[in-house]
């Protein structure tokens, strides 16, 4: 594929989804595409186009102002043949659909991208290191992500780039994760207090993914690691206490405790996540070795993020 023109990275691009991550990428990518006079389309659900909420209408207005074309398409319920027909119109596809589309969707989309002859693909792999985790982590979506990587590596016609980001920074502080209980003053560690986790903000992912996409010479067929921050659960507890100026009780959820909780509630998605993140391996990487660190691109560390969102989360 070395015969591609030098401006390949600025060619016809389709972004799947305009959720939190999709919008973060589009806000950085759309101006670059517009300035270069290159087309950019965003796939959105037909229902959201026909009957948009106030938030969707505002979002779509922003996208149009940035020069993006809105492409209504029912991603969840369409046949593979229809997906292939749509994807085949584009040189590059950036998948920002997330896991909400349901089990099997990421494999379905990947296979459709390959069948359509898309030249370059950024799959929905904006998460942890599925190569290290492998299969059997207790989190079925992790297994599917591992399979997606194998599918991409088994072929050579479509270039692919995986951007590994860790979890969203905000995920650390979501009440549903059970890690930080601001009301009761409890910080919970997973596995051990020295277990680490890598996190990245959507804004950082948007900026870094755009830079990776447009890098010259172009990046191809590899996993690129980025990180806003990497912290241990002990460091997280210290950061929470420093920002809130309060003392928090520290409650360690050992692997045994987490396994017991999952056995009691095997359908609890968050319980499966906690078991997986307690493993440590594959959930973090050294920030100093990331793309953003090597390029000198500043990112928002956990303490800075929490200071900015203190009123909302605490």
Domain extent listing, the chain: 6-166+200-225, 169-197+229-283+297-313
Model pLDDT, residue 244:
96
Report the pLDDT value the prediction gives residue 99, as an integer from 0 to 100.
72
**SS3 labels along 258-269:** HHHHHHHCCCCH
CB atoms within 10 A of CB 100: 9
Instruction: Give pLDDT, residue 182.
Output: 96
pLDDT one-digit tens code per residue, 201-240: 999 999 999 999 999 999 999 999 999 999 999 999 999 9
How many angstroms separate the Cα of 217 from the Cα of each of 14, 39, 135, 202, 225? 21, 21, 33, 25, 18
Could you tell me how many residues make up the chain?
314
- Report field, pTM of the whole predicted structure over 0.85: yes
Fold equal for 6-166+200-225 and 169-197+229-283+297-313 = no
CATH entry 3.30.420.40 includes domain 6-166+200-225: no
User: Token pair for residue 273?
Assistant: 């996540």
Q: In the Cβ-directed half-sphere of 263, how many Cα atoms lie within 13 Å?
A: 6
How far is residue 44 from each of residues 5, 65, 72, 207, 239, measured CA to CA in Å? Answer: 29, 16, 5, 21, 38
Question: At a CB cut-off of 8 Å and minimum separation 6, what does 86 contact?
Answer: 14, 43, 71, 73, 116
Q: Render pLDDT for 45-71 as a digit per residue (tens, 0 to 9).
A: 999 999 999 999 999 999 999 999 999
237 vs 240: CA distance, rounded Å: 5
Q: What are phi and psi of 81, to 5 degrees?
A: -60, -40
Identify the band that residue 11 occupies on the pLDDT scale cut at 50, 70 and 90. confident
In angstroms, the Cα distances linking 156 to 117, 161, 193, 214 are 11, 13, 42, 21
Q: Which two three-digit tokens encode residue 173? A: 């502080």
| Number of other CB atoms surrounding residue 297 within 10 Å | 14
Which pLDDT does position 174 carry in this prediction? Answer: 94
Residue 274: pLDDT over 50: yes
> Is the confidence at residue 136, as pLDDT, over 80?
no
> What CA–CA distance (Å, rounded) separates 60 from 32?
18
Helical packing angle, 105-115 and 80-87, nearest 10° = 50
Three-class SS state of 299: coil
- Are 28 and 214 spatial neighbours (Cβ–Cβ below 8 Å)? no
Which pair of tokens denotes residue 268? Answer: 């609890």
Residue 137 has pLDDT above 90, yes or no: no
> What whole-number distance in Å separates Cα of residue 67 and Cα of residue 40?
7
* pLDDT at residue 5, rounded to an integer: 38
Q: How is domain 169-197+229-283+297-313 classified at the CATH fold level?
A: UDP-galactose 4-epimerase; domain 1 (3.90.25)
């Amino acid at each position: 594929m070395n015969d591609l023109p030098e401006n390949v990275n600025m060619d016809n691009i389709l972004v799947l989804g305009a959720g939190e991550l999709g919008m973060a990428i589009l806000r950085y990518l759309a101006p670059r595409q517009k300035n270069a006079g290159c087309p950019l389309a965003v796939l959105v659900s037909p229902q959201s186009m026909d009957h948009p909420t106030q938030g969707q209408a505002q979002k779509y207005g922003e996208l149009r102002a940035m020069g993006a074309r809105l492409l209504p398409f029912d991603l969840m319920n369409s046949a593979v043949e229809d997906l292939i027909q749509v994807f085949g119109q584009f040189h590059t596809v950036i998948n920002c659909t997330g896991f909400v589309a349901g089990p099997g969707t990421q494999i379905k989309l990947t296979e459709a991208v390959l069948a359509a002859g898309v030249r370059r693909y950024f799959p929905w792999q904006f998460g942890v290191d599925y190569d290290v985790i492998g299969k059997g982590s207790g989190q079925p979506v992790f297994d599917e992500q591992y399979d997606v990587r194998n599918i991409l590596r088994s072929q050579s016609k479509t270039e692919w780039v995986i951007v590994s980001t860790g979890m969203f920074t905000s995920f650390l502080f979501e009440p549903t994760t059970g890690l930080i209980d601001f009301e009761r003053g409890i910080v919970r560690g997973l596995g051990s207090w020295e277990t680490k986790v890598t996190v990245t903000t959507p804004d950082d992912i948007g900026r870094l993914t755009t830079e990776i996409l447009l890098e010259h010479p172009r990046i191809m067929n590899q996993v690129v690691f980025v990180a806003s921050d990497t912290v241990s659960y002990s460091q997280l507890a210290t950061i929470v206490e420093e920002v809130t100026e309060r003392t928090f009780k520290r409650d360690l959820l050992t692997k045994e405790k987490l396994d017991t909780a999952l056995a009691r509630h095997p359908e609890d998605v968050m319980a499966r996540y906690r078991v997986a993140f307690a493993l440590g391996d594959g959930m973090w990487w050294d920030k100093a070795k990331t793309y953003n660190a090597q390029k000198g691109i500043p990112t928002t560390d956990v303490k800075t993020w929490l200071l900015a969102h203190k009123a909302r989360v605490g």
